[in-house]
Structure 1
Amino acid sequence: MEKEVQTTRVQNIFRILLAIFMIYAGVSHLTFNRMDFQAQVPDWVPLSKDLVVVLSGIVEIMLGLALLFWKKQRVNVGWALALFFVLVYPGNISQYLEGRDAFGALDSDRARLIRLFFQPILIAWALWSAGSWKAWKKTR
């Protein structure tokens, strides 16, 4: 797969916004939202909830930084970020099914259900803004 693709100014703005969001989310995993993120870790995960939150926070920071600065691998970083969003989605589903509150705003079944619909948007955002989707289409 091609390592670099041309992206538009709009894609770059959205890529930078997503990268900042990921870095912020990662830092919040490690600090002020640590307990709230533990509510998303399903009980069937065979690791401590705190360890999962810390590790996912570190991954989010790394992906955010890579999305910002690793230009030659930006396409692959977009795919990695999309995969990350897919892998954490079961936690969002579990939080909805188990009715676990978090972040002050996720305090009802309705709010937790609405949140589920944003994960596909994040996946598309990662693939589009990094040029991953465009690179994949070029190979077809």
Structure 2
Amino acid sequence: MIRTGLRWILAAFYFLAGFIHIVSPTPFLKIMPAWVPAAEQVVLWTGIAELLGAIGLAQAFSMPLRRAAAVGLALYAVCVFPANINHFIMDMAQADGGAGLGYHVPRMFAQPMLIWLALWTGGVTDWPLGPRKA
């Protein structure tokens, strides 16, 4: 029951994030590392990836599709981590400290949690809540 509820919440989160990436890409372009080529297209495709991952994670009929979506969202969260780090560095370098450590430090810890949550709610892993297998 908890896993299902969190799966729906995570799917809604990624669906909303994907929608925002597509309709309002400017904030994401601002935090994109300079070394990323075709930044506008990357933001568009990350939004599409989030939408498709959310739809796959939310569906209840195909466990292989749900697991694939979970793995995709986990890999997505790994791939966008450099943008989060870049945002942290750029923001903290501002004279006013930007959003501050109270925003950025939890965000850095949230990224691995999102990776695990995608895998756990998608049924890819039971770790650390399930029984250990011999």
Q: What TM-score does the superposition give when structure 1 sets the normalisation length? A: 0.78
Alpha carbons 1:18, 1:64 under 8 Å: kept: yes
Using the TM superposition, name which of 71-80 and 16-25 deviates more.
Answer: 71-80
Q: Hey, what does 1:37 align to over in structure 2?
A: 28
Distance 2:115 2:78 in 1: 8
Q: Counterpart of 1:133 in 2: which secondary structure?
A: coil
Higher relative contact order (CA 8 A, sep 6+): 1
Identical-residue share of aligned pairs (%): 30
Give how far 1:80 is off: 1.6
Provide structure 2 residue ranges, at least 5 long, that are not aligned to the other structure.
none
Give how far 1:82 is off: 0.8
Distance 2:46 2:35 in 1: 17
Q: Which runs of at least 4 in structure 1 moved beyond 3 Å after TM superposition?
A: 137-140
Give how far 1:138 is off: 8.5
Q: Hey, what does 2:63 align to over in structure 1?
A: 72
Q: What TM-score does the superposition give when structure 2 sets the normalisation length? A: 0.81
Which digits, 9 at most, give the CA deviation of each residue in 1:103-127, with x for residues without a partner?
xxx9334122331111011011111
Give how far 1:139 is off: 8.3
| Pairing 1:127–2:109 present | no
Distance 1:117 1:107 in 2: 18
Distance 1:72 1:60 in 2: 18
